[in-house]
A = this chain, B = another copy of it.
Amino acid sequence: MRDQDEAQEKRTSRRAFLRAGLATGGAVLGGGALAAPQAAGNPKNQPPHVADWSRTLGDGVAVRAYGKPSKHEANVIRRDVQWLTAARESSVSFTPIHELDGIITPNGVCFERHHAGIAEIAPADYRLIVHGLVDKPLVFTLDDLKRMPRVNRAYFCECAANSGMEWRGAQLNGAQYTHGMVHCVMYTGVPLRVLLQEAGLKPNAKWLLLEGGDAAAMTRSLPLQKALDDALVAYRMNGEMLYPENGYPARIVLPGWEANMWVKWLRRIEVGDQPWHQREETSKYTDLLENGKARRFTYVMDAKSVITGPSPQAPLNHKSGFTVLSGLAWSGRGKIARVDVSLDGGRNWRTARLDGPVWDKALTRFYYEFDWDGRELLLQSRAMDESGYVQPTKNALRKIRGVNSIYHNNGIQTWHVHKSGEVENVEVS
């Protein structure tokens, strides 16, 4: 797979690059498609002859025992929208997806969704109870969990309300706000089925109740089948322990399913024979339709994609020429099979290049390199997954679901690129 990817990448990226060059008359660099790199003799493009940083000693090793980004990257942060919710303790912050690349989200910028703020749990005080329809109720300490067989898997985690503000039309000007309730990290944890097998399931076991340890005591019902398939009790993200806002010291990971169910600060798993119909699966996280009925148990996040650059917070800062369009695609039903992009609002489509790992239920990075002629663009991306599902337009979704829900909006996003390079969130009919 990896070797194929690399061979493919060598062919396609080079070809696209040359194509863009040839499209402007063959001068790939000298004032052509990629205008910026200059002949070295051009004095205005020379670096300062002796720069400050090459004359002085900088900070030594381990002065920053835990490192952080450059001060020049201070804008790469989670942001919230303060008018969105009454209190920050029950609100959401958004991943700065327009400032990232690849598929791994650094732990420090993973979006947050709290219902009672961040619980601060000391590892020694942590307990996880498994009870209900089991042969032997059990209590696990964190050390117990760390002594059980563990696996490492990267998965996307997306809030069901991601893009939820867009049901009634283009609202928020930035990929961080329209699509930033998603992140993708490498989790380390114990398969949930191992814990359940230790407790021993009664024959009538069919559902689990997952309960969080924060002041919201988040509770969600989980079908047993998912628990026995790929669910994890995770305690690490990207190698280090979970960050407090993501459930330190342990949370549930439900690959491909809506993030609200990924209960953080996990303290209790009850085994039962039917769903519990808790608040977060009745008045919330159900999808109200036009006829007044609501879809419920809509767990899977359908295939979706977004162009992260150019995007409203990441405009083009050149007037024309070689341009890299970059974005993310993901599907709760498996691997991304293909991503197409359109420069003209969906009239013509071209297949994007997938780069890096293409994993089951993980973010997938795509690129499309092209020679921008400086005219306005209506950028769209459309994800297809291995199940054959194709990401729909927003209008196609609205026809079926109406505009009353705030959940499960996976419609195609349109960005309007102006001649100035500025980018705007728009709708196309």
Contacts and interface: CB of A to CB of B under 8 A. Distances in A.
A154 B14 CA distance: 21
B149 A13 contact: yes
A120 B58 CA distance: 7
Interface residues of A, number: 141
A76 B240 contact: yes
A121 B63 CA distance: 18
Interface string A244-266: 11001100000000000000010
Nearest to A323: B147
Interface stretch (A103-111, A277-285, A336-344, A376-384): A103-111
A238 B51 contact: no
A151 to B, nearest CB: 6
A168 interface: no
A114 B148 contact: no
6 contacts: A3-B360, A60-B87, A60-B91, A148-B324, A149-B367, A150-B324
Given A72-B248, A102-B238, 12 more contacts: A37-B198, A38-B139, A39-B138, A41-B137, A54-B214, A61-B91, A70-B241, A71-B120, A100-B236, A101-B150, A105-B239, A149-B324
Interface of A: 1-3, 6, 9-10, 13-14, 16-17, 28-30, 34, 36-42, 45-48, 51, 53-73, 76-80, 87-89, 91-93, 99-110, 112-114, 116-123, 125-127, 129-131, 136-141, 143-144, 146-153, 186, 188, 191, 194, 197-198, 213-215, 217, 230, 236, 238-245, 248-249, 265, 267, 317-318, 321-324, 355-357, 359-360, 365, 367, 369
